[in-house]
Amino acid sequence: MHTLEISDLKVHFPGRHGAPVRAVDGVSLHVAAGETMGLVGESGCGKTTVANTTVGLLGPSAGSVKVMGTELAGADRRTLRAVRARAQMVFQDPVTSLNPRMTIGDAVGEPLYVRGIASGRALRERVAGLLDEVGLRPEHAGRYPHQFSGGQRQRIVIARALALRPALLVCDEPVSALDVSVRAQILNLLVDLQARHGMSSLFVSHDLAVVRHVCDRVAVMYLGRIAEVAGRDALFASPRHPYTRALLASVPEPDPVVQRAKPRVPLAGEIPSPADPPAGCRFHTRCPMVAEVCRREVPALRAVGESVVACHLA
C-alpha cells in the first residue's frame, strides 16, 4: 500500500462563463512509503489543487485519492478528520498559517489538545519536544508569532504539522516566501525530519533547484495533467517531455561553462486558460516540436527510457 495513491483525479470549479475550470483533469500518481515526490509546473498548472485535495481541503470532482488506503472522495466528516491526522500540510506563507493571537506553544499543541491526545503537563512536554525537533527552544513556547523571523515561523508551522505524527507531509512551496539565506536550512530540516520519522512527502514547487535538492521522484504538471514522471536523476539528466526540457532550460547553472553549453529551449507565451484548454496535447500551443497529430490526439502516458511521458514524439 502506498502512502498516497491518486487515480484519474479531476477537480473542476464553476467558471465565470459557464464552462468549468478544469484545474486538475485526470491526474494519477503515487507516493511510496518514505518517498518524497516533487510536483512541479508553472503557476496555474493545478499542482496546488492536487496538494489541497490530498489533505481533504478540496473534494475531487471525479477519481480517487487514497491516503494510507483510506478513500477521500465522497468521505464523511469523520473519515476526513481521521485522514487529516495522517496527512498534514505546510503552506507557503508561515505568517497566514499562524494565529497572531495564539502563543506558539498553544499553536503547536492545539492538534494534540483538540483531539484529546494530551493536556496539561504532558501536552507541554510534547510541545517542548516538537519545538526542539525543529531547532527552537522550549522556552519559546510562551511567545507570539510576531516575535519570530520568517524562517523561525516556518519551523513553528512544521512543528505543528508534526504534532500528530503524520504519515504524509504535503509541502506547498514551503520556502518560496522565505529569505534566500534561510531556505536551505528549512529544506534540510524537512529532509532530516522526514528521514527520522519515515514520513512520505508530496513537495509542490515551481523551483526546480529546490525540487532537485529534496525529491526522490518528480512529476511535471502542465495545465491540469501530468506531462512526465521520472526519478530525480533521470529527469534532470535526460528530460523526455518538451515541456520538462523547457522548464529545465530556465534553471540557471552555477557553473558558467555549463550554463553556456546548455541548450536553449524557448517557452513561448502564457499557459492557456484551464477553462478552455487546447484540444489534443495541451502543450501544443507552446511546443517547439508540435506536429499535426498533437493538435488532434491526447497523448497517453507511456514509458520512455526511465520516464513516463505524455508526448506523441518523445
Query: Total binding residues for ligand SF4 by CB under 6 A?
Result: 14
Q: What are the angstrom distances between the C-alpha of 250 and each of 42, 197, 264, 311?
A: 12, 34, 8, 20
Q: How far apart are the first and last CA of the chain?
A: 31
Lay out the site mask for ligand SF4 across 238-267 (x = CB under 6 A, - = otherwise): ---xx-------------------------
Burial class (CB in 10 A: 0-12, 13-18, 19+), 146: exposed
What secondary structure letter does DSSP report for 224?
T
Nearer to ligand SF4, 157 or 246 (CB): 246
Stretch that binds ligand SF4, among 31-39, 206-214, 268-276, 282-290 (CB under 6 A): 282-290
Stretch that binds ligand SF4, among 96-104, 118-126, 174-182, 289-297 (CB under 6 A): 289-297
Stretch that binds ligand SF4, among 35-43, 134-142, 257-265, 280-288 (CB under 6 A): 280-288
CB 286 within 8 A of CB 267: yes
Stretch that binds ligand SF4, among 36-44, 147-155, 181-189, 285-293 (CB under 6 A): 285-293
Which residue among 46, 54, 299, 308 contacts ligand SF4 (CB under 6 A)?
A: 299
What are 64's three cell numbers? 480517487
Residue 155 interacts with ligand SF4 (CB under 6 A)? no
User: Would you mind telling me the total number of residues written for the chain in this entry?
Assistant: 314
Q: What is the dihedral of CA 235, 239, 244, 246, to 10 degrees?
A: 130
Which residue among 12, 140, 213, 312 contacts ligand SF4 (CB under 6 A)?
A: 312
Which residue among 11, 134, 208, 287 contacts ligand SF4 (CB under 6 A)?
A: 287
Identify each DSSP E strand in 93-185 by its residue range.
168-172
Stretch that binds ligand SF4, among 5-13, 86-94, 191-199, 305-313 (CB under 6 A): 305-313
Nearer to ligand SF4, 91 or 243 (CB): 243
Nearer to ligand SF4, 37 or 294 (CB): 294
Angstrom distance (rounded) from CA 300 to CA 292 = 16
Nearer to ligand SF4, 30 or 240 (CB): 240
- Closest approach, Cβ 289 to ligand SF4, in A, equals 4
Residue 294 interacts with ligand SF4 (CB under 6 A)? yes
CA nearest neighbour of 228 among 154, 301, 155, 132: 301
Q: Quick one: which H or E segment has residue 66?
A: strand 62-67
Nearer to ligand SF4, 165 or 296 (CB): 296
- Closest approach, Cβ 262 to ligand SF4, in A, equals 20
- Closest approach, Cβ 309 to ligand SF4, in A, equals 8
Nearer to ligand SF4, 155 or 312 (CB): 312
Among positions 182-211, residues that touch ligand SF4 (CB under 6 A) are none
Burial 27-56 (b: 16+ CB within 10 A, else e): bbbbbeeebbbbbbbeebbbbbbbbbbbbb
**CA dihedral sign of residues 146, 150, 152, 157:** positive
CA nearest neighbour of 290 among 301, 277, 279, 305: 279
Q: Can you give the binding site for ligand SF4, defined by CB under 6 A?
A: 241-242, 281, 283-284, 287, 289-291, 294, 299, 311-313
